[in-house]
Chains A and B, each alone.
Chain A
Amino acid sequence: MNVNSVKLNDQTIAIEENRVPPTEKPVVRSGKLRHLLNAFEARTWRNIVIGIPYIWMLLLFFLPFLYVFKISLAESIMARPPFSTLFTWVGDAQVSINLVFDNYLLLLQDALYTTAYLNSLKIAFVATLICLIIGYIMAYGIARAQPTMRNILLLLVILPFWTSFLLRVYAWMGLLANHGIINNLLLAIGLIDKPIQMMYTNFAMYVVFVYSFLPFMILPLYANLEKLDATLDEASADLGAKPVTTFLTITLPLSVPGIIAGCMLVFIPAVGEFVIPTLVGGPDSLMIGRMLFDEFFANRDWPVASAVAVVLLILLVFPFMLYKHFSAKQEERSP
């Protein structure tokens, strides 16, 4: 280690010759007060940043929901507000709690509600499945396109998403109506001789659901597929796998997180969807979002509407928890 000792000698010489004493910084003021002020500043800052969104969401999201939960346990009465109170003061320091589970019992007993719940789940599930098939093909195609094309194709997928949801549903009303474009076209070709009833059927619901939610499926799938190394495909082919085998054994398993994310993004909002069933759904395609709306506005039955909401949320929490559980496991696995 000769180098080092030489260097040390050089250093002493250099110090003698051209060391400029560094200008002293003002001495750091130290002391209890200073520490306190610093801690106070840091803490206040944290409290503000956390506090504002926290209080906002507590007040305008959590509290209202608790209130809905409370009302769902009350009785419908003709008053303003049109429900009974849960807590009544009885004499001194005595509270009688008046919980009513009738609203929930009603949901169980009335076939209309159970049908609506099941129907919502069924329609959302089928729509999610169709979205997955179409979305997968498109996401895969975009991910495997030329890099310069990818962004343009992606933009084309996102573009309808930025235009109004309502207007996208509306676009199909003109297509599916009895005297709509599709029927007119089929009549003109001579394939049919009287219009097919498409509007206000389950068929219309599926078409419009898939159309409206497709971008939500494509985006997470694409994000996942794009990250997959294309050389994995090549490695698989190099090891003798046919394209179909490569897809089934390499690409598909690796895209499971994207599939799950996409399905969640479609399924969850689809269950509670209100606009589509109202505009294109028929009398036989009852969905719970619409039921809730009608219960509240048409029947003015707040407690039942609240109970409908609570049950709907419970139905949705389950798949979401499943998703959370799965994505947490995924994260654990990837370093």
Chain B
Amino acid sequence: MKPLEEKPWDTQPWLDKHKKPFLEIRGVTKKFGDFTAVNNVSLEIYKSELFCLLGGSGCGKTTLLRVLAGFETPTEGKIFIDGVDVTELPPYERPVNMMFQSYAIFPHMSVEKNIAYGLKRERLPKAEIRSRVEDVLELVQMSPFAKRKPHQLSGGQQQRVALARALVKQPKILLLDEPLAALDRNLREETQFELMNIQDKLGITFIVVTHDQKEAMTLSTRIAVMNKGQFVEIGTPTDIYEYPQSRFTANFIGSINIFEGVVKEDRLDSHVVRCEDTECDLLIDRDSSIHAGESVWVAIRPEKINVSKEEPADHHFNTVRGKILDFGYLGNLSVYNVELDSGKIVKASAPNRNRISKHRVDWDDIVYLSWEAANTVVLSG
């Protein structure tokens, strides 16, 4: 089947101004005593999104998820799901279900009973419960284990049961608290794609809490980066990685080099930035919000830096000289820590396209780092 004519908001509904959000968080604050876990956050999530809340421990992401599930009542603010105010509803009345980080599988019930538990609470007819349990077991490929007790399952199988138990309720929104954190690394990658497939198939809105930026990048349609109970940035994985707005996001997701400087000159399609740490000036793309005389942070990702032993031909802008302080061979790529004359350390990485028998560079080698103006980002705060 040929895909129909696509508008960008078919896959990116947040770009459509007329589309109604499926989940609306309006100015939610949650305080525990003096501690503010979630501080006045607002967010709109659309149907069938796979939305990630990303942040370090204690950033408030799990609290926000628990507020959505109904385990915590917000100190302030409102939550609407599909247009209905659910702020005051207890967990057992909400059309959302949660997959716990610990999986929280009832140890005294078989896989089947665990999954049927939620349906029984809805007082559905026995036949329907049975068929829905069978279907969902099929979906997560756990049918042969229906009669097992939780302790007879491996970690990966338990994860599937936890997922199935929440999915079988056909929630409007599925909340997943660190769904993959407890799995081995290999299993984690495999499960990641399975999770995406299932979400795809059912079209249920997923909200995933994670501290793992790679996981967030692969899984989600959009990511909200959280820090100190607030959203630092919300955007697609590409936006967040390639065009971070703040130093926090830039540092939190991947590694990045940040140069502090002052805008020296506004040109037609670019700005020239004077930076204390570099000998030459930095060139950045034209940005209407920047004016000469202002302080800015110019950021460049390590993989976008070109490392060479020879001085580049055109080295007027975006070229720095330094000596190799450290380098590491990671197999697919090599990383370098280069110390500039000013003492600033710049990280660079390069893919190992050809098999190398010998390191091309050595400690204390002098190298030249250069990059394109288009690859730099200007950070606001």
Direct contact between the two chains A and B in their complex (CB within 8 A): yes
Contact A25 B95 (CB under 8 A): yes
Q: Mark B78-100, 1 if CB is under 8 A from A, else 0.
A: 00010011101110011100000
Per-residue interface assignment for chain A, residues 4 to 22, with 1 indicating a CB less than 8 Å from any chain B CB and 0 otherwise: 1101110111111111111
Bitwise, B177-220 to A at CB < 8 A (1) or not (0) is: 00000000000000000001000111110000000000001100
In the complex, are the beta carbons of B201 and A8 less than 8 A apart?
no
Closest chain B CB from A27 CB (angstroms): 7
Known: A1-B241, A25-B95, A38-B88. A12 touches B3 (CB 8 A): yes
Chain A neighbourhood of B217, CB < 8 A:
1, 4
Measured in the bound complex, the distance between the Cα atoms of B70 and A39 in whole Å is 13
CA distance A39 to B87 in the complex (A): 12
B308 interface residue per 8 A CB criterion: no
Tell yes or no: A324 within 8 A of B by CB: no
How far is B236's CA from A5's CA once the two chains are assembled, in angstroms? Answer: 10
- Judged by a CB distance under 8 angstroms, whether A314 is at the interface is no
Bound together, the chains give a CA A11 to CA B197 distance in angstroms of: 9
Which residues on A sit within 8 Å (CB–CB) of B3?
A: 9, 12-13, 16
Q: A30 touching B89 by the CB < 8 A rule?
A: yes
What is the chain A residue whose CB lies nearest that of B170? A22
A35–B94 alpha-carbon span in the complex (Å): 12
Candidates B95, B203, B236, B237; contact of A21 at CB < 8 Å: B203
Closest to B88 in A: A35
Residue of A with least CB distance to B241: A1
Say whether, besides A12-B6, A16-B1, A16-B3, A27 and B236 are in contact (CB < 8 Å). Answer: no
Bound-complex Cα distance A17 to B200 (A): 11
- In the complex where A12-B6, A16-B1, A28-B89 touch, is A22 in contact with B200 (Cβ < 8 A)? no
User: Which of B1, B11, B236 touches A11 (beta carbons < 8 Å)?
Assistant: B11
Chain A residues, Cβ within 8 Å of B10: 12
B93 touches A38 (CB 8 A): yes
Determine whether B242 belongs to the interface, using a CB cutoff of 8 Å to chain A.
yes
- A94 at the B interface (CB under 8 A): no
Smallest CB gap from A39: residue in B: B88
What are the residues of chain A within 8 A of B196 when measuring CB–CB? 7
Q: Does A3 contact B (CB under 8 A)?
A: yes
A19/B201 in contact, CB under 8 A = yes
Chain A residue contacts of B90, Cβ below 8 A: 38, 42
Q: Tell me if B172 and A20 are in contact (CB < 8 A).
A: no
Asked if B221 is an interface residue, CB under 8 A from chain A, the answer is yes
Tell me the bound Cα distance from A38 to B11 in angstroms. Answer: 38
Asked whether any CB of chain B lies closer than 8 Å to the CB of A23, the reply is: yes
Q: Are B84 and A20 in contact (CB under 8 A)?
A: no
Chain B residues with CB below 8 A from A42, complex form? 90
Give bound CA distance, A22 to B373, whole Å.
48
| A22 and B88 contacting across the interface, CB-CB below 8 Å | no
B356: Cβ under 8 A from any A Cβ: no
Which among A1, A12, A34 is the interface contact of B237 at CB below 8 angstroms? A1
Chain B residues contacting A38 (CB-CB under 8 Å) are: 88-90, 93
Q: How far is the CA of A30 from the CA of B87 in the complex (A)?
A: 10
Docked Cα-Cα span, A15 to B264, in Å, equals 50
Q: Which A residue's beta carbon lies closest to that of B86?
A: A28
Task: Pick the residue among B1, B6, B95, B170 that contacts A28 (CB under 8 A).
Answer: B95
